[in-house]
Structure 1
Amino acid sequence: MARHVLPTVDSTNSHAMRLAPSLTGPAWFLGLQQTAGRGRRARAWVSPLGNFYATLLLHPVEPPEQVALRSFAAALALRDAFVALTGLPEVFKLKWPNDVLLNGGKVAGILLESTQAAQGMHLAVGIGVNLIAAPDASVVEAGAVAPVSLLGETGIRVTPEAFLDALAIAFARWEAIFVTEGFAPLRAEWLAHAARLGEVIRARTGDQTREGVFETVDSAGNLRLRMAQGTVAIPAAEVFF
């Protein structure tokens, strides 16, 4: 698989999408520094030198609703990479829909973006990891999970290049499982490492916030929240603990 390391870039997702029409196969883009990184809902993603900013550009053939399930492949690959590099499987959990937690704090996030072109779909799987530094807790929304760094929580220093080595191997494995066996094995493994499964959480969509027990993630990737009036399926939301 092609791999490109960029000393500086505006956003690895944006860069990958600009090159997508000229690429025939999958490719990783690693930016050592980003000048305009972004997270979900177009939030700015703080991008100091030494953290990890990368995008995997794919040309998927499945329907859009299936393509979106690759966020689970990315989350599982991230967790596998962390465990391979630290030997600490018990401290990493997965937070629906797109975060990885370390000791309960957010250490990594995932952003999927896609465009439809004449030759098919282009999918950018963007991944940001706080390897050596995390934003100050004061800059995150009240009630959100506090950001942490791998170095700060474990004392382990990993370079972006070394992290990509581990992540690329792990993602290739989960991508192969997804393509050949579907979402079911990814769902089962994700649930095995889910944060706050069976506990009361809050899910906010727009200006509506719902509170209930995090029951499961269903076969479509939706959060299933058990509330007093019954269980609801939530396809997208901000989750608060």
Structure 2
Amino acid sequence: MPEVYELDTVTSVLDEVRKPEWAHRLNDFDSIIARRQTAGRGQYRRSWDSSEGNIFAALRLPLEGPFPGTEAAVALGVLLACALRAEGFACFLKWPNDLVLADSLGEARKVCGILLEERENVLVAGIGINVLHAPSDDMLRPDHALKATSLLANDPQGHVKNIPTAKLWKKLVNHLFSSYSHNYAPYDWHTPAQELLLWRNRRVVLADGDERVEGILRGIGFKGELLLEAQGRTLALLSGSIRVAG
């Protein structure tokens, strides 16, 4: 099974994993996990809340299968969503790189973010999972598409409080590694991606810089692109962020 290296405090796990000492130490699906970050970052280099008790991990990915292509974030999201589902959490994929849970009223809330970085032919995923804590609404950026939640808030029995964060991360990594090793052939991620896709067949707005496109979310293509039905045709879009229209 993959190795997990436990660290105390780092600036960010993505900065840490780029240090020379890790260059030949991490094999595919090995990872580091930190107790806390002092300068965590998410998509577009936005700051990432790093409350102790959550998962802050950097996972090395193979440059094969779905990972060298534009489908990488979606494929990894599917693997991680399935690993969380195996732990009892009804997890869904918010395209392109977030995972969400539904609260007791059915409202989707973000629980995990994924950020991919490739340098010098080494592909690493930075993964943040809200385990015990989630940022409050007033801590989110003004244009946030979803509120945040934690695994604990969706665990009525409170089991996650009794599992060390690193142990939970190891369980998730082992699950996704086993799923990839035993079940993944090219595009095998695609079917579960459709099933797990948040807001499928609902009207959404995709924002990409200053551009806005509104349409019906029809699914995900084989390259990880969002398929949006708008003005009588289906658009295949590779970047941007989505929210429910209206």
1:112 equivalent in structure 2: 116
After the TM superposition, which of the residue ranges 105-114 and 74-83 deviates more from structure 2? 74-83
C-alpha distance in structure 2 between counterparts of 1:122 and 1:198, whole Å = 36
Q: Which residues in structure 2 correspond to 1:51-62 (within 5 Å)?
A: 51-60=54-63
How far off its partner does 1:77 sit? 2.7
Q: Deviations over 1:16-54 (max 9, x none)?
A: 122453336232100110111100000000101100110
After the TM superposition, which of the residue ranges 41-50 and 55-64 deviates more from structure 2? 55-64
Higher helix share: 1
Q: Deviations over 1:198-231 (max 9, x none)?
A: 1111111111111100011111110011101521
Pair 1:209-2:212 in alignment = yes
Which amino acid counterpart does residue 5 of structure 2 have in structure 1? Answer: H
Pair 1:162-2:167 in alignment = yes
C-alpha distance in structure 1 between counterparts of 2:155 and 2:40, whole Å = 25
C-alpha distance in structure 1 between counterparts of 2:118 and 2:128, whole Å = 17
How far off its partner does 1:58 sit? 3.3
2:19 equivalent in structure 1: 18
How far off its partner does 1:177 sit? 5.7
Percent identity over the alignment is 26
Which amino acid counterpart does residue 154 of structure 2 have in structure 1? Answer: E
Contact 2:6 2:32 in 1 (8 A): yes
Deviation >4 Å, runs of 4+: 61-65
Pair 1:135-2:135 in alignment = yes
2:125 equivalent in structure 1: 125
Q: Which residues in structure 2 correspond to 1:142-181 (within 5 Å)?
A: 142-155=143-156, 156=158, 157=160, 158-176=163-181, 181=185
2:77 equivalent in structure 1: 75
- Matched positions, count: 231
C-alpha distance in structure 1 between counterparts of 2:176 and 2:226, whole Å = 23
How far off its partner does 1:175 sit? 3.2
The TM-score, its normalising length taken from structure 1, stands at 0.88
C-alpha distance in structure 2 between counterparts of 1:238 and 1:65, whole Å = 21
The CA RMSD over aligned residues, in Å, is 2.1
C-alpha distance in structure 2 between counterparts of 1:71 and 1:57, whole Å = 13
Contact 2:53 2:132 in 1 (8 A): yes
After the TM superposition, which of the residue ranges 185-194 and 10-19 deviates more from structure 2? 10-19
How far off its partner does 1:237 sit? 0.7
Which amino acid counterpart does residue 203 of structure 2 have in structure 1? Answer: V
Which amino acid counterpart does residue 79 of structure 2 have in structure 1? Answer: A
Which ranges in structure 2 are unaligned for 5 or more consecutive residues?
103-107
